[in-house]
Amino acid sequence: MSNKTFADFGLVKPLVKAAAAEQYHTATPIQEAAIPKIMMGRDILGVAQTGTGKTAAFAMPILHRISKEKRSMTSRTPRVLVLSPTRELATQISERFLAYGKKMNLNLITVFGGVNQNPQVRALKKGVHVLVATPGRLIDLINQGHVELDRLQFFVLDEADRMLDMGFLPDLKRIVKELPAKRQSLFFSATMPPEAVELADELLYKPVRIDVTPDDPGTSTSDLVEQKVMHVEYQKKISLLSNILIRRPVGRVLVFTRTKHGADRVAKDLNKRDVPTAAIHGDKSQNARTRILQDFKKGKTLILIATDLAARGIDVDGISHVINYDMPHDCDSYVHRVGRTGRAGQEGVALTFCMAEDIDQLRAIEQHIQRKLEVDSQHPYHVPGLEELTASPPSKHRRSEGGSQKGRGRPYSGGRHS
C-alpha cells in the first residue's frame, strides 16, 4: 500500500481538501503511479479494475491542470471528455468529479440516452469544463451540432473492454475522428483483449503503461473474497436465497441472474417473502434505474437483483455479498461478478448456486480462477453427491465454451440498447 498522501503530489489545495473530506488519506497504487504522469502531460494506458481508485487517479490531476489554466468556458466545447459505457457509470464518474472539484467552480455535464436531450443541450450551450458521456448520446449531440470537440484538451476512455463487449467500437471510432490531434489521452481497461490493444495503439502517443492487476485476472479477488458453491435443485433456489438473506448476517447484497425476466421474477418472489428487494436491468426506464441505484448506494435498498450487463454500471463500495443465483455464462463474467465485493481492503463473500446441469461450467470456472470452490453443504436445500462430479478437471470442449480462451468476455450482443 502506498504511503503517499494527496498533498505529496503537489495538487492544488482545493483538491487536497476534497480528498480529506472524502476520507482519502493515502493513495492507491494506481493513483500513486498515474497522478504524477498525468500532471506531466503523459498519455496513460491503465490496466485496472473497478475498486482500485482509478476515477480519482484521472479526475484529480485533470482538475489540477484545468485549475492552473484559467480559461473561460466556451459554448458547446468541453475541455475534458470522459467516455463511459453505461449511464450508471457515467453518473458515478460525474459524482466523483463534482466531489473532488466542489471548491473549484466546476461546470460539469453528464449526457446519456434514455432521457430527453433538451436539458443536456441547454446546459452545453452555456459552456462546460467536463463532459461525461455515453457514446450513443454523444454521437447524437455531435451530429446535431450541440457538441464540438475541436478544442478538447483531455480525453478519457474508461472501461474500454466493456465498451467493446457492448458493441461500441464503431461509435468510438466515430468520436475519435472528432478529437484534435493535440490532446492528452487516458485509456483505462480491466483487461486488454486484442481489440483493446489495437484501439489503445490508435488513441495513445507514447503512453505510460500502468498495470495494477495480477497477470491472471481470475485470481484478482481470491485474497479478499470467500468463494463458495451451494448445490441446489432449480425449484429450491428461491427458498435458498431467501434463507440466506434472512438467516445469515449480510449487509449490502448483489444478486445476479442471467436474464431480465429472471431478475424481475426473483425480486417479486423475495418481496412476497417479506425480503425488500429491487431489480435493475435494461428494460427499466432511466429514471427508475437511477432511483434504484441511488437507493442501493444510500442503503435504502440492501438487496439488488441485476443482470450482468446492468451491473456493469454499478460501482458501489460496501457490498458484503455477491450471490450468483444463476451460474455465469462464462468465466470472465464470474470474475467480474465476484469483483463487486471484497473491495477497498474489505472482505467479501461470493456464493454460487449450482444445479446438476451447471457442473461443467463450475469446473471451467474453477480451472479459470485456479482454485476449487468450497462446497457449503450446511444449508437446508443441499443436494448431496454433486460435489463428486467436480472432482475431475473440465473437458477442453467445455472450457472453451466457458470463455477462458478465444472469444471470452463477449457474451453480450445487445449494443447500446441492452
**Per-residue 3-state assignment (H helix, E strand, C coil) for the chain:** CCCCCHHHHCCCHHHHHHHHHCCCCCCCHHHHHHHHHHHCCCCEEEECCCCCCHHHHHHHHHHHHHHHCCCCCECCECCEEEECCCHHHHHHHHHHHHHHCCCCCCCEEEECCCCCCHHHHHHHHHCCCEEEECHHHHHHHHHCCCCCCCCCCEEEECCHHHHHHCCCHHHHHHHHCCCCCCCEEEEEECCCCHHHHHHHHHHCCCCEEEECCCCCHHHCCCCCEEEEEEECCHHHHHHHHHHHHHHCCCCEEEEECCCHHHHHHHHHHHHHCCCCCEEECCCCCHHHHHHHHHHHHHCCCCEEEECHHHHCCCCCCCEEEEEECCCCCCHHHHHHHHCCCCCCCCCEEEEEEECHHHHHHHHHHHHHHCCCCEECCCCCCCCCCHHHHHCCCCCHHHHHHCCCCCCCCCCCCCHHHC
How buried is residue 182: exposed, middle or buried, by Cβ count under 10 Å (0-12/13-18/19+)?
exposed
Torsion sign across C-alpha atoms 122, 123, 126, 130? negative
pLDDT tens-digit map of 387-411: 666 554 444 333 333 333 333 332 2
Share of the chain above pLDDT 70, in %: 87
pLDDT tens-digit map of 26-58: 888 899 999 999 999 999 999 887 667 889 999
**pLDDT surpassing 80 at residue 1:** no
Q: Are strands 108-111 and 130-133 parallel, antiparallel or unpaired?
A: parallel
Q: Does domain 217-408 have CATH number 3.40.50.300?
A: yes
Average pLDDT, the chain: 85
**pLDDT surpassing 50 at residue 330:** yes
d(C-alpha 147, C-alpha 198), whole Å: 27
Residue 107's pLDDT band (boundaries 50, 70, 90)? very high
The position carrying cell 492552473 is: 68
Contact between residue 150 and residue 181 where contact means Cβ atoms under 8 Å apart: no
**Average of pLDDT values for 175-181?**
95
**pLDDT surpassing 60 at residue 216:** no
Contact between residue 61 and residue 31 where contact means Cβ atoms under 8 Å apart: no
**pLDDT surpassing 60 at residue 186:** yes
* Confidence at residue 404, expressed as pLDDT on a 0 to 100 scale: 34
Lowest mean pLDDT among 43-47, 181-185, 278-282, 385-389: 385-389
Closest CA to 10 of 76, 49, 67, 52: 67
* Confidence at residue 396, expressed as pLDDT on a 0 to 100 scale: 38
Share of the chain above pLDDT 90, in %: 55
The position carrying cell 463511459 is: 84
d(C-alpha 124, C-alpha 266), whole Å: 41
**Average of pLDDT values for 259-284?**
92
* Confidence at residue 352, expressed as pLDDT on a 0 to 100 scale: 97
Quote the cell numbers at residue 68: 492552473
* Confidence at residue 312, expressed as pLDDT on a 0 to 100 scale: 65
Query: In sequence order, which residues have a C-beta less than 8 Å from that of residue 289 and are 6 or more positions away?
Result: 87, 88, 280, 310
Lowest mean pLDDT among 72-86, 197-211, 264-278, 283-297: 283-297
**pLDDT surpassing 80 at residue 346:** no
* Confidence at residue 192, expressed as pLDDT on a 0 to 100 scale: 86
**pLDDT surpassing 90 at residue 214:** no
How buried is residue 303: exposed, middle or buried, by Cβ count under 10 Å (0-12/13-18/19+)?
buried
Closest CA to 242 of 267, 275, 265, 264: 275
pLDDT tens-digit map of 283-320: 888 788 888 988 998 889 999 999 887 666 677 878 99
* Confidence at residue 395, expressed as pLDDT on a 0 to 100 scale: 41
The position carrying cell 436474464 is: 259
pLDDT tens-digit map of 220-250: 444 778 999 999 999 999 999 999 999 888 8
* Confidence at residue 217, expressed as pLDDT on a 0 to 100 scale: 43
**What is 6-211's CATH number?**
3.40.50.300
The position carrying cell 467445455 is: 398
For CATH 3.40.50.300, the residue range(s) in the chain are: 6-211, 217-408
**Average of pLDDT values for 103-125?**
92
Quote the cell numbers at residue 164: 467493446
